[in-house]
A = this chain, B = another copy of it.
Amino acid sequence: MNGILLAAVMAAFNYTEPADTTTTDQAAWNALAPGTYSGWVSKDTHYRQRELPASLTAAPGDTTVTAWRGERLGLEALVATTEGIKDLRVKLSGWRDAEGRTAEWPGSEAALMRYVITNRFRSCGKLPEGLPEYTVNDMIDLPGSVADVKAREVRPVWVTVEVPREAAPGLYHSELILTGGGETLAVMPLSVKVLDRTLPATPDFFLDLWQQPYSVSRWAGVKPWSAEHIEALRPYMKMLARAGQKSATAILFYEPWGEQSNDKFEPMVATTKAKDGSWKYDYSVFDRYVDLCDEYGIAEVIECFSMVPWEMRFRYFDEAAGDYRWLDAKAGSQEYEALWNDFLKNFYNHLDQKGWSERTLVAMDERGLKEMKEARRVAQGAVPGIKMSLAGDYHPELEPDLDLYTLMIEDFFPAEVLARRKAEGKKSLLYTCCASPAPNMFSNSDPADNAWLPVYARATGFDGFLHWSFMNWTDNPLEDSRFFLFAPGDTYFIYPDGRSSVRYERMVEGIQLSEKLRILEKELLEKGDLAGYAALQEALLPVRTGAHTRHVSTAKVINDLQREANRQ
């Protein structure tokens, strides 16, 4: 048993699924005849653990969904029991085409969903005390997991369908099979209508989720950058690549973000001050990480954090002292310029040897304009033509030098700037963080928000979507999504040991949907189909206006657009 598996088993051993402690109306349960009920349910809502959803008893026993070839689909089912179920297990039967022939759909699987703790906080700053906690079925457990269901509890189930890229168009069938106590509880038919359309193998969507490899080594209990750490990172690399990730996010010097990270970001470049006062750099960790990302095709850019960290302190090993030392180097100081000038020259020499210079971006996280202009000056001085990135406010002064520029939702590039950036091949993204109550990707966000955000980003002219965190795990990420800062779940939306989440799966859905809309729009333009093009523009209006109201929810907007994209 290797380290990662051991860690997974250990974690599973210690895992206790949080219980919903809120009061539940028992009237619906009282009116229900004893037994176990199951049905396909909407994935647009969270289901309370001890509440009987009205939709369940009315839910049909089977479901048909429509998909493009190469699409990853999520479906949700739910089991409710008046009596309790011992050892609930779920699996998919084999797939068959319309003629009953066996079809291989690898990657399609069913899994139990799990509850994590959240609360209603949707803001920045310290998590307020005293907010009532509740649980949401955000986590999708590993296939093969088992759970007991107590009397008058529900258990949601997630089904992932990966439609093969080479599947012939037509209807395909499978069943979701639920067993409890070794007995078959339900066999729920599931049909997929595969259209004669194919999603590209790699989305033309710039997804930029900043990675936190040190959460993974901490959780796995392994040494950073050991072979075990690399293995533990692989499931996340795979998920990132599947979604459309384009950026390997590397850490140059210690701690770009200060205390807002639960796990410290260790430098991927080891900096040493030699006895003669010269600097030496060791790039072996950096190289290993970039190589790993490359393996998964996450290779469009390498973002290096950060020339303007939140605390302007750089750690290095001092050979003379035989220990680590800190250099305080504010932007604008001689120390800052000397440090970065020396480093960047050396770094780009290394990158040149690797053939990576052209895709490397020196990143700035939002700081004062003065500091950022100073960082740019130093960087351009050291490496003329160096590429840079920034996520933050729109600064016309910086824009021309930013090959990757990400604005917060509700901020916009001037139209002519966005058009010029596209023509120049520069990428312009949209991000959300704790400052946007909704739509967002918190554990308390509406599930459809995660699909809406990528669609909104592309429909309003951006090249893609950025989020500052993907796996910045809390101390106990399997059970509690709350961090001491920010809205709960803001720091991660993927779970340990390779577990997925509603938030990840629905983000993938949104990226795929934005791809469908892009492909359809391009096709209509190429075919010269004005009526079709105008109809598509009208269908895009609700997402372009940013509507997210009670009656025009993100779920409605996404479902309407999905229907439009899946019309034949």
Indicate if the CB atoms of B414 and A552 lie closer than 8 Å.
Answer: yes
Interface residue? A133 (CB, 8 A): no
Binds B, one of A39-47, A225-233, A476-484, A530-538: A530-538
A557: nearest residue on chain B (CB-CB)? B415
Interface residue? A556 (CB, 8 A): yes
Contact A551/B460 with A533-B530, A541-B544 known, Cβ cut-off 8 Å:
no
Interface residue? A411 (CB, 8 A): yes
Contact of A541 among B461, B547, B551, B560 (CB under 8 A): B461
Indicate if the CB atoms of A541 and B415 lie closer than 8 Å.
Answer: yes
Interface residue? A394 (CB, 8 A): yes
A533: nearest residue on chain B (CB-CB)? B530
Range of interface residues on A (Cβ < 8 Å): 20 to 34
A556 and B545 alpha carbons, distance in the complex (Å): 18
In A513-566, the 8 Å CB interface with B consists of: 525, 528-530, 533-534, 537-539, 541-542, 544-547, 549-552, 556, 560
Interface centre among A411, A413, A538, A549 (most CB of B within 10 A): A549
Contact of A549 among B394, B529, B545 (CB under 8 A): B394
Instruction: Report copies per complex.
Output: 2
Closest beta carbon of chain B to A428's beta carbon, Å:
13
A552 and B414 alpha carbons, distance in the complex (Å): 6
When distances are taken between beta carbons in the complex, the residues of chain B under 8 Å from A530 are 525, 528-530, 533
Interface residue? A384 (CB, 8 A): no
Indicate if the CB atoms of A412 and B545 lie closer than 8 Å.
Answer: yes
Interface residue? A130 (CB, 8 A): no
16 further A-B contacts with Cβ under 8 Å, apart from A415-B538, A533-B533, are A394-B549, A394-B551, A411-B549, A412-B542, A412-B549, A413-B552, A414-B556, A415-B541, A415-B560, A461-B541, A530-B530, A530-B533, A541-B544, A544-B545, A545-B545, A546-B546
Chain A positions within 8 Å of B, measured between CB atoms, are 394, 396, 410-415, 460-461, 525, 528-530, 533-534, 537-539, 541-542, 544-547, 549-552, 556, 560
Give the top 7 A-B pairs by smallest Cβ distance, nearest first.
A412-B547, A530-B530, A412-B552, A544-B544, A537-B537, A460-B545, A394-B551
